[in-house]
Amino acid sequence: MARRRRKNRRKDGTTAPLRLTSMMDILTVLLLFLLKSFVVEGEVITPVPGVDLPESSSDAAPQASVVVAIFDNTVMLDGQMVTRLENGSSDDGLLIAPLADRLNQTRAKELEIAQLRGEDVDYSPKIAIQGDRDISFEVLERVMYTCNQSGFGDIALAVIGAS
Amino acid sequence: MNARHSLGRSFRGLVENDLDIMPLMNLFVALIPMLLISAVFLNVTVIEMNAPPEGMADDQEQKAVEPLHLAVTIREDFFVIEGNKLDKSVIDRRDDDPESALAAALAAVVAAHPGNRDVMIISEARTRYDEIITVMDVSRAAGLPSASLLGAE
């Protein structure tokens, strides 16, 4: 121990500073790895908290789209709660009126942006549904129907892909 | 050279300094937790959906038209495979590994009708989303990548 302590001392008696080079190497690699995870192909969908997505063998990359999350009969649009379905059914048939209103607003806004960019000809509204694995088809069907009625015909179901 | 010689003594007296990387370290220490928090480690993918063929929502029982209209119905206890020119087959879900039996049955249909890529998955109101995704996976693996969802009457 004494010998080692003596080794760390310089000839002039001053203590050698902590060498941070190797730690810097690790941090640099970690930083690059984390930055790389943001620059993946396609769009990254973050699961909405509270939604337990089902697992699937699908490997299709998600595209930039509006996200509807469904869990415990609660419907959220882009992270904001829209409505709560009572027992998954209503007198309005399959249409979920509050969701339809919000989707129409979103579509109008997206169309306006596409027009400003001059991309309105190619504009096709896309939607990704993040459904909890335990929701019933009854709820899913109503959400899909409402999306379709609001002009979001290009529907994708978000799942946890095979890694 | 002469100048260097003349400075030689003062060079010898200097202490070798390491590069001061502490500010960079501070930056990294702040950046890395921030990136770790926002990093997505779950591989979220999607399954593209198709709208069911025209008219099929109203008359699922009508199977006399030309296309195959292959349908897999998810009942509580059974999977039912039916379609035009197809014998109806029923798979008991209480058996061991009903998904493999479904995969085999669908693979047989695909082998008999290689041109068909579509399948309709008909679910009951109470069918869980997880079960629907499983059937879609089985269908895709069997060679039916284009799935559409329908509700059972």
Residues of B in contact with A131 (CB under 8 A): 129
Tens digits of per-residue pLDDT, A39-65?
Answer: 665 566 778 888 899 999 888 888 888
- Touching check for B35 and chain A: CB below 8 Å? yes
Give me the pLDDT at residue B52, please: 60
Q: Which helix (H) or strand (E) holds B35?
A: helix B22-38
Residues of A in contact with B18 (CB under 8 A): 17, 19
Task: Name the CATH architecture for the domain at B71-151.
Answer: 2-Layer Sandwich (3.30)
Give me the pLDDT at residue A1, please: 46
Question: Whose CA is closest to B151, among A129, A140, A134, A89?
Answer: A140
Give me the pLDDT at residue A68, please: 92
Q: Distance from B125 to chain A by nearest Cα, in Å?
A: 4
What SS3 state is found at A118? coil
ipTM greater than cut 0.90: no
Distance CA B118, CA B110 (A): 10
HEC sequence for A27-72: HHHHHHHHHHCCCCCCCCCCCCCCCCCCECCCCECCCCCEEEEEEC
Distance CA B73, CA B130 (A): 15
- Touching check for B18 and chain A: CB below 8 Å? yes
Distance CA B129, CA A35 (A): 34
**What domains, with CATH codes, occur in chain A?**
2-36 (no CATH), 66-157 (3.30.420.270)
A13 Cβ partners below 8 Å, 6+ apart? none
Higher-pLDDT residue of A37, B108: B108
**pLDDT of B64 strictly over 50:** no
Domain boundaries, chain B: 71-151
Distance CA A159, CA A144 (A): 16
Q: Distance from B67 to chain A by nearest Cα, in Å?
A: 23
Closest chain A CA to residue B14: A12
The distance of Cα B140 from the centroid of its chain, to the nearest Å, equals 11
Distance CA A31, CA B110 (A): 48
**pLDDT of A91 strictly over 60:** no
What SS3 state is found at A25? helix
Mean pLDDT value across residues A103-126: 85
Give me the pLDDT at residue B115, please: 84
Give me the pLDDT at residue A87, please: 61
User: Residue B122 forms beta bridges with which residues?
Assistant: B73, B150
**Poorest-confidence range of A142-151, B38-47, B114-123?**
B38-47
Mean pLDDT value across residues A75-94: 77
A67, A130 in Cβ contact below 8 A?
yes
B46 and A157 in contact by Cβ < 8 A?
A: yes
B45 and A58 in contact by Cβ < 8 A?
A: yes
A67, A48 in Cβ contact below 8 A?
yes
How large is the greatest C-alpha to C-alpha distance in chain A, in angstroms? 89
- Touching check for B123 and chain A: CB below 8 Å? yes
Q: Which helix (H) or strand (E) holds B44?
A: strand B44-48
Residues of A in contact with B133 (CB under 8 A): 54-56, 133, 157, 159
